[in-house]
Structure 1
Amino acid sequence: MEPLTPLLWTLALIIAFVAGLVKGAIGFALPLIMISGLSSFLHPYTALAGIMIPILLTNLWQVTHFGWTPAKEGARLHWRYVVIVMVAIFAAAQLVTSIPRNAFYFVLGVPTILLSVVQLAGVRLHVPPAHRIPAEWAAGLFSGVLGGLAGTWGPTTALYLMAVDTPKARQMVVQGVIYGTGSIVLVLAHLRSGILNAETAMFSAALVPAALAGMGVGFRLQDRMDQDLFRKATLIVLVIAGANLIRKGLGL
């Protein structure tokens, strides 16, 4: 990676803080915000590497924030989803370096827009109990592939949990388990792919304090705000960020 100017370092830290704040408040979207923001002024591989360690540590905090006992129960209930996400993340991550730079912007931008628009539109999927096992495997596979390529599997996971009628109180815990296990695999996979190396790992680690500080603020806001309004505003920002990535992919 090329040396960053003080201005770019400041922008990177602000993006990490905002991403952490949103994650603390609504439980996901840190990778989407960070990858969209960092990719606007960094090479996409560097941006992808930069989100690795913040993803890992914020997800582990999310798990511990709600307690280990609920986390174990969440893992037991959704073990199929957890397993397929981990396998798919590791496999898909090995393909990242073979994707051309312009195409990689599409890999980041298109899912960002589609997933954000789906949630803004209020799409409410429902999976009948008889179909939940195959749906769990299919949704986990899709989420894992997206996670391995773009570092984000939060929105698809949130949509799946709502589709199987997961109680709201349990969603934050289960999301933490799925994101936590997936982020461990993501880091290991990109150590192998070469995206995360000694140089980019230092950059990623430097963003951790800002992300954790933002998440701490987000946790405090969680019970004091209109989360639906905040969530919609976040998704609108993500649509704009995704459109900017697609613009870069088109060379405009």
Structure 2
Amino acid sequence: MWPISDTDTLFWSLLILTFFVAGLVKGVTGMGLPTVAMGVLGAIMPPVAAAALLVVPSFVTNVWQLVTGPDVRSLMRRLWPMMLGIVAGTLLSASLLTRGDTHLTTAALGFALLAYALYTLFAKQICVPPRLELWLSPLSGMTTGVITGGTGVFVIPAVPYLQALGLSRDDLIQALGLSFTVSTIALAAGLALHGAFNVGNLWQSALLVVPALMGMVAGTWLRQRISPALFRKGFLVCLALLGAELASRAFR
């Protein structure tokens, strides 16, 4: 057996804690695992490395969220143009994350986190009329894909767009699971396309499924005992501060 250094122990302890907290946030709010994981890990390692670790935990937790919803078929029929846009945008922009310019990608990640946090905190709820979905869905998907490929974060503008469709609570949770699942698969494909996703190292990402699922279970339990709105606000404030710190690196 190979000896494990103190540095390795600290590194894996941080990974496990990060994915547990990310799962906790997802369990309480229904979203946030990739956002938290990329935000924390992007501050200590290249974003492309953080994105590779994210793939399996994100896929497993999002598929779980997707299949437990009420009617995935009708959602897929309604949202397929958006999903197609996500795939296309992610594959087209994945080179931004893999080109090795960590200064730029870290700053871009910061701006994405900051924009998401501020929008969610302060923006008023909008409503998308059904007649506009035909062109807004692929546009929203493509924009989400471009941001995903460049930063590893796939919440903007997918989350506010899906919230604006007037879906029921259960349908919204399932639609988010669908969007995040497709984004995760597209991100893995984009990283692999540019040689940044080594299937041989998939076990490292797979190991992090356990703390992520434990966090989700704990978050679901916690959601029944605290105010989700209060937790969400605190989470978004912390996310905004983290995003601002990462974004500030563009000016250093």
Asked whether the two chains share a fold, i.e. TM above 0.5, the reply is yes
Say if 2:15 and 2:208, in contact at 8 Å, map to a contact too: yes
Instruction: Return 92-101 or 22-31, whichever deviates more.
Output: 92-101
Q: Which residue of 2 aligns with 1:54?
A: 57
- Counterpart CA distance in 1 for 2:45 and 2:96 is 20
**Partner in structure 1 of residue 36 of structure 2:** 33
Give SS of 2:71's match: helix
Task: Give the match for residue 71 of structure 2.
Answer: 70
Residues 109-130 of structure 1, C-alpha deviations (whole Å, 9 max, x = no match): 0011011101100332222333
Question: Helix, strand or coil for the counterpart of 1:80?
Answer: helix
Query: Deviations for 1:18-39, whole angstroms, at most 9, x for unmatched residues?
Result: 1011112212111110011112
CA contact (8 A) 2:128 2:165 kept: yes
Measure how far apart 1:189 and its partner are.
2.0
- The letter for the 2-side match of 1:237 is C
Given residue 50 of structure 1, which amino acid in structure 2 is its aligned partner? L
Alignment of 1:124-203 (within 5 A): 124-198=125-199, 200-203=201-204
8 Å contact from structure 2 (residues 47, 97) kept in 1: no
- Report the counterpart of residue 105 of structure 1 in structure 2: 106
Alpha-carbon distance in 1 for matches of 2:55, 2:250? 23
Match of residue 26 from structure 2: 23
The C-alpha deviation readout for 1:81-127, integer Å capped at 9, x for no partner, is: 11111221222213322362211111100011011101100332222
After TM superposition, give the deviation of residue 5 of structure 1 in Å.
Answer: 2.6
Tell me if structure 2 keeps the 8 A contact 1:35–1:48. yes
Q: Cα 1:85–1:232, aligned 2, differ >3 Å: closer, same or farther?
A: same
Question: Secondary structure of 2:123's partner?
Answer: coil
Q: Which runs of 5+ in 1 are unaligned?
A: none
In structure 1, how many angstroms separate the alpha carbons of the residues matched to 2:251 and 2:197?
A: 26
- CA–CA distance in structure 1, aligned partners of residues 121 and 174 of structure 2: 23
Q: Tell me if structure 2 keeps the 8 A contact 1:85–1:143.
A: yes
Q: Does 1:7 align with 2:17?
A: no
| CA offset digits 1:170-217 (Å, max 9, x no partner) | 100111112112212221221222222146533322222111111122
Q: Aligned-pair distance for 1:41? A: 1.6
Alpha-carbon separation, structure 2, partners of 1:95 and 1:248: 17
RMSD: 2.0
Contact 2:86 2:186 in 1 (8 A): no
Q: Quick one: distance in 1 between partners of 2:60 and 2:116? A: 24
* CA distance in 2 between partners of 1:245 and 1:134 (Å): 33
Looking at structure 2, the residues matched to 244 and 199 of structure 1 have their Cα atoms a distance apart, in angstroms, of 33
Q: Percent identity?
A: 27
SS at match of 1:216: helix
Count matched residues: 247
Matched residue, 1:239: 240
Cα distance in structure 2, aligned partners of 1:191 and 1:228? 38
Any conservation in 1 of the 2:43–2:106 contact (CA below 8 Å)?
no
Structure 2 stretches lacking a partner, 5+ long: none
State whether residues 112 and 153 of structure 2, in contact with CA within 8 Å, keep that contact through their aligned partners in structure 1. no
